[in-house]
Structure 1
Amino acid sequence: MIPNEVQVERPWLWMFVGVFGVLLLALLFWPGQPLEWKMYAVVHGVCAQQHNIILGGLQFPICARNAGIYSSFLLTVIYLYAIGRGRAGGLPPLGVGLALLAFVAIMAVDGFNSFFLDLGQANLYQPDNRLRTITGMGMGISIAVMLHLVFNKTLRKNVDDFQPVLKGWGELVGIMLINGLVLVALYGNLGFMFWPLAFIAFFGLTGVLYTICVLLISLVLGYEGRVTELRQLARPATLALIPTLGILGLMAGFRFWLESLGLVI
């Protein structure tokens, strides 16, 4: 984008900050329900919220597997930018790529194993919340790497096709170690970590949906291959809040309605 186009986006940037700030304040301070329940309600339509985690006497807003997936997703995205891969457009080395695919397959196996037990069918082994979270974390890393590559290859003008999103095993192990610290906090019952981890998982979950909405709206508005700085996406980022909130609200409302009829638990 040329500098004048960046200037045009500035009102949208302030609008995004204002709208997001209002939404965050509403989540934090809207009266009537505790904060953890409000977080639970927002994602109620897109998260199974079974096999829950209790940390510091409070129920985590999303279930064990989703806590692993979406906390890992958000932490991996932050990690990629922290190690300088914001413009990376190259695939990771073959071994690392195969490991990411294996993470997806492992979570699928564990997910179906748990699903069959919930249905009262034969299963391979006894499911466990720790295993649900661990396999979810591997899936979260894979989702983050995939979305990061799709985002950069689709929207960035200055994408670096020669820079792999992960250069080797050391960088993959790095994010796995960060996830390991989260796992210790979740299952070591470190109560003081409830709110930091709850927000990481909550914004990781809503962030996946929001990122997809930003990507689609950006394509509709003609941003493909034009972005050099993330602030240039202020307009699609602001507009993407509408479908994100709409999807979350409609799906949560529909599930609460079904539960009121006794059709789902």
Structure 2
Amino acid sequence: MREDVMEHRVQQEMSAGNTCYPWLNGLLAVCYLALLATAIWCPGATLLERLRWLDSGICAQLLTHSLYPGGERLPLCSRNTGIYLGFFVTMIMVFIRKRGRAQVLPKKSLIIALCVGICFLAVDGINSLFVDLGISHLYQPNNLLRLASGLLAGLAMGVFVLPVINGLIWRHSNTQRSLPAWIELGWFLPVLLLCFYAAASQSGLALYPLAILSTLGLLTAVGGVNLIFILLLSKRDESFTRYKELIPFCGLALLTATGELLLLAQLKLSLFQALGIPLS
């Protein structure tokens, strides 16, 4: 009897919360329209230049660390392109594999292997920093190594982050693993290799897909952090049963993520101007 009462109370709270969703959805729609209007007036004449501006607060965008498909520089440096592109396509693949609600991390052997990929990113990043500082280093870095290490780290980030977020979202537990077995990598690695060769080819055909997908990955990553805080502050963690209920919360998380990136870009611009540092 007590469990039935608690169940009824939870349903009432969820119904009460859902009544404000149309208003919140409408408000978010207005905010997104305002953001779109703002984007039209953002610095830059083309979509690519505006993506560079959006990403500039997060990424150093060093000219020598960037890839140039079709002769145009990507919005993110090679390593960040790999990280956020790998993260985004990994999230897509997890959902395609019907593990979008997985709440369990991979087995220990897979966790170790994925952590090796993260360590590769760290070693390559430190080695690259040593080269930039003009001190002793292990090897001569290049953009393809930066891209590859970023893609592997993006894969690990997606596989590790999703179960954590799902644990805060869903009311009912899910025993699925985000990456259940080694054989499952056969679905992920070919997609990451395709991303690698698309970027490495420097083909103009890959320019906008890479630019858009990597920027979406950045927005998704920042939005995921925002979503965690929004759920905790609104005390709606572990209360959802359907994706439809998440729409206003995800919309708010992505909206704030866009605002945060724009704010960081403006702060970086102001700082560089105050210090007399030319933007790349």
Q: Calculate the TM-score normalised by the size of structure 2.
A: 0.86
Q: 1:62 maps to what in 2?
A: 76
- Where structure 2 has 5 or more consecutive residues not aligned to the other structure, the ranges are 1-9
- Give how far 1:237 is off: 2.8
Identity among equivalent pairs (%):
30
Does 1:46 pair with 2:58?
yes
- Give how far 1:99 is off: 1.0
Aligned residues: 264
Query: C-alpha separation between the residues in 2 aligned to 1:32 and 1:80?
Result: 35
Q: 2:100 maps to what in 1?
A: 86
Query: C-alpha separation between the residues in 2 aligned to 1:159 and 1:10?
Result: 28
Query: C-alpha separation between the residues in 1 aligned to 2:178 and 2:222?
Result: 21
Pick from 165, 183, 187: which aligns with 1:170?
183
Instruction: Indicate the structure whose relative CO is greater, using CA pairs within 8 Å and at least 6 residues apart.
Output: 1
After superposition, the CA RMSD in angstroms is: 2.2
- CA gap 1:263/1:61 in 2 versus in 1, 3 angstroms: same
- Give how far 1:31 is off: 8.3
Query: Do the aligned residues in 2 keep the contact of 1:52 with 1:60 (CA within 8 Å)?
Result: yes
Query: C-alpha separation between the residues in 1 aligned to 2:225 and 2:248?
Result: 15
3-state DSSP of counterpart to 1:59: coil
Task: Describe the superposition over 1:73-114 as per-residue Cα deviations: whole angstroms up to 9, x where unpaired.
Answer: 011111111101111111212221111111111110011000
- Where structure 1 has 5 or more consecutive residues not aligned to the other structure, the ranges are none
3-state DSSP of counterpart to 2:136: coil
Q: 1:76 maps to what in 2?
A: 90
Q: 2:201 maps to what in 1?
A: 188
Query: Do the aligned residues in 2 keep the contact of 1:65 with 1:129 (CA within 8 Å)?
Result: yes
Higher strand proportion, which one? Answer: 1
Task: Describe the superposition over 1:221-260 as per-residue Cα deviations: whole angstroms up to 9, x where unpaired.
Answer: 0111101223212333343345423421222112112322
Query: Do the aligned residues in 1 keep the contact of 2:171 with 2:239 (CA within 8 Å)?
Result: yes
Query: C-alpha separation between the residues in 2 aligned to 1:148 and 1:15?
Result: 28
Q: 2:221 maps to what in 1?
A: 208
Task: Describe the superposition over 1:188-217 as per-residue Cα deviations: whole angstroms up to 9, x where unpaired.
Answer: 122112111110001111221111111111
Query: C-alpha separation between the residues in 1 aligned to 2:155 and 2:22?
Result: 32
Query: Do the aligned residues in 2 keep the contact of 1:56 with 1:191 (CA within 8 Å)?
Result: yes
5 Å matches for 1:152-171? Answer: 152-160=166-174, 162-171=175-184
Higher helix proportion, which one? Answer: 2
Q: Look up the equivalent residue of 1:203 and give its one-letter code.
A: L
Query: C-alpha separation between the residues in 1 aligned to 2:223 and 2:260?
Result: 10
